[in-house]
Amino acid sequence: MKIFKNNSILIRGFMMVICFTFFTACEEGPNFRIQEYPEQTATGISHTSGYPGINVTITGTDFGTLKGAVKVYFGGILATNVVSCEDTKIVVQVPAAAISGKVSLQVWKHLNDSFAEFTVLPAPAITSVVSSNAINTVAFPGVDIVTINGINFGTDASKVAVSFNGTAATIQNIADNKITVTAPANYATGFVSITMGGLTVQGTPAIINPTAAGDITPYFLSNTGNFVSGGGFVSNTDAYSANRWGTLGAPWITNAGAKNKTNASSVKVGGFSKDGGNRLCFETWGDTPVVDGKVYQQTSMALPAGSYTVSFTYYSENHPTSSVYCVAATGDGLPSLANLNTALGYVGTWNSTPVGATAPNSATGATNPITAKFDFTVATSQKVSIGFLVNMAGAATKADYFIVGGMKLVKN
């Protein structure tokens, strides 16, 4: 019993030493600091009313610089985007679901439950953007009127700014659900937007400036095939049934001279074939010549004054006594071969296959076409006809063959 008692005393003493050491280690050392943040003071807000999505500025003191420590509530709804935080200024975006009422600010654990009131206004919205042009996504600068339809625009034009892809436009008329403007000069193709009370909203579809340099094919021409892969032209309703021949669909115009084939209904057709994927096509096998054949279309609108380039992909097995020209001409129609020099511009195509042969040809194969192009200029705004003037001699055996894969019109 004496031995056990002595051991017990030793154990209790050892435990007291451990506890003393532990608590001593937990005491605050010379480098230990408890950070106390001063209580923030909010003194004002930059706007007392506005739209969800706008930025407002809260002013005051002792905000710190850590955005993550800041919480702002609009009518009890937490803002999810604190844009910036400085010691005397906080910029925050009004949340989409904000409710009119008190504005509360919390920085770390310090809460100012109601330092300002904010009224949420019904936000403007654009439902459509429509040009007065026949193609309602195209607007000529200084000419076409563009109507912006929507809601909550108000009626004070001084409070609304309209922009065409960054270029300001002057408002002609404004109502709460409609704004009209004239397309501004030199605007870039893009979206129309309005800015009200610090909020910018964007409408669709994009509005196209047809006078701007670049590819303008979709706005002035149609049914022009696929320039990259070839084919894709659309035939007319007199299309082939049992054979491959037909005429090009609108807006292409095909004269009688170009119709050197007969379809399954015994109707004269020409200028189109489904050979190789629906192409603009001429062929004179079987003693069927083409004399001043014309396949063309007039631009859907007057081209603005300026310089243009027409380019197209094609394949040819034509011989030297035949010719195919791509032509641009004023008015509605193309000149005949004898008057070709009256055109605005033109380019001839490859025609070096010997008579009676199919090779050599203009490329390594019908699926590997080449590209040709020419330039023309219009001094004043006008419609222009663009198409092909074809003269192909017939032959008892192998004769001429010519296909176009796609066309493009570019404003320089």
Q: What CATH number did the domain enclosing 323 receive? A: 2.60.120.260
My answer on whether 281 and 370 are in the same domain is: yes
Report yes or no on 212 lying in a domain: no
The reported pLDDT for the residue numbered 346 is 98
Q: Are 140 and 186 part of one and the same domain?
A: yes
Residue 303 lies in a domain: yes
Q: Are 264 and 369 within one domain?
A: yes
Find the CATH number of the domain harbouring 178: 2.60.40.10
In a shared domain, residues 189 and 272 = no
Looking at the structure, tell me whether residues 259 and 318 fall in a common domain.
yes
Per-residue pLDDT of the chain (412 residues; tens, 9 = 90+): 344 344 444 444 444 444 444 334 444 445 545 456 788 999 999 989 999 999 999 999 999 999 999 999 999 999 999 999 999 999 999 998 999 999 999 999 999 988 999 999 999 999 999 999 988 999 999 999 999 999 999 999 999 999 999 999 999 999 999 999 999 999 999 999 999 998 999 999 999 998 899 999 988 999 999 998 888 999 986 555 456 888 999 999 999 999 998 877 788 899 999 877 889 999 998 778 999 999 999 999 889 899 999 999 999 999 999 999 999 999 999 999 999 999 999 999 999 998 888 888 887 544 567 899 999 999 999 999 999 999 998 876 677 999 999 999 999 9
Grouping H, G, I as helix, E, B as strand and the rest as coil, residue 364 is coil
Q: Are residues 251 and 110 in the same domain?
A: no
Q: Within a domain: residue 398?
A: yes
Please tell me whether residues 260 and 351 are part of one structural domain: yes
SS3 50: strand
Choose one of 65, 90, 120: the last residue of a domain: 120
Domain membership flag for residue 287: yes
Q: Distance between CA 44 and CA 85 in Å, rounded?
A: 15
CA distance 88 to 256: 82
Cα 391 from Cα 305, distance rounded (Å): 31
Domains identified in the chain, total number: 3
CA distances from 65 to 56, 91, 107 (A): 17, 12, 10
- Check whether residue 68 and residue 139 sit in a common domain: no
Q: What is the DSSP letter of 177?
A: T
Q: What is the pLDDT of residues 94-126, one digit of tens each?
A: 998 999 999 999 999 999 988 999 999 999 999
Residues 111 and 132 reside in one and the same domain: no
User: Quick count: other Cβ atoms within 10 Å of Cβ 97?
Assistant: 12
Measured CA to CA, the distance from residue 369 to residue 170 in angstroms comes to 48
* Tokens 């196209």 -> residue: 208
**Each residue of 226-275: pLDDT tens digit?**
998 888 999 986 555 456 888 999 999 999 999 998 877 788 899 999 87
Query: At a CB cut-off of 8 Å and minimum separation 6, what does 85 contact?
Result: 63, 64, 65, 66, 67, 69, 70, 91
Domain boundary among 144, 179, 202: 202
Cβ(392)–Cβ(336) under 8 Å? no
Q: What is the CA radius of gyration of the chain?
A: 38
Nearest-angstrom CA–CA distance, 183 and 139: 6
Q: Is residue 183 part of a domain?
A: yes
Residue 192 lies in a domain: yes
Evaluate whether 356 touches 296 at the Cβ level (below 8 Å): no
Report the C-alpha dihedral over residues 124, 127, 130, 135, rounded to 10 degrees.
Answer: 150
Which tokens go with 140?
């000529």
Domain shared by 57 and 152, yes or no = no
Q: Take residue 309 and report the two structure tokens written for it.
A: 């380039």
Which helix (H) or strand (E) segment is 218 a member of?
helix 217-220
What is residue 225's DSSP assignment? B
Return the structure tokens found at 283. Answer: 């062929």
Q: How far apart are CA 333 and CA 315, in angstroms?
A: 24
What is the reported pTM? 0.68
The Cα 129–Cα 136 span in angstroms is 9
CB neighbour list of residue 402: distance below 8 Å, 6 or more residues apart: 281, 282, 283, 314, 315, 316, 317, 318, 324, 349, 390, 392
Q: Whose CA is closest to 63, among 90, 43, 87?
A: 87
What pLDDT score was predicted for residue 356?
Answer: 83
CB 201 within 8 A of CB 123: yes
What integer pLDDT is reported at residue 51 of this predicted model? 94
Tokens 């004239």, located at residue? 182
DSSP string, 115-168: EEEEEEPPPPEEEEEEESSSSTTB--TTT-EEEEEEE---S-GGGEEEEETTEE
Do residues 126 and 148 touch, judged by C-beta distance below 8 A?
yes
Residue 248: inside a domain, yes or no?
yes
Token pair recorded at residue 27? 């005491």
3 found inside a domain: no
Q: Choose the final residue of a domain: 120, 148, 171.
A: 120
Q: Which domain holds residue 64?
A: 41-120
One domain, residues 157 and 104: no
User: Do residue 262 and residue 402 come from a single domain?
Assistant: yes
Query: What is the CA 137 to chain-centroid distance, rounded?
Result: 11
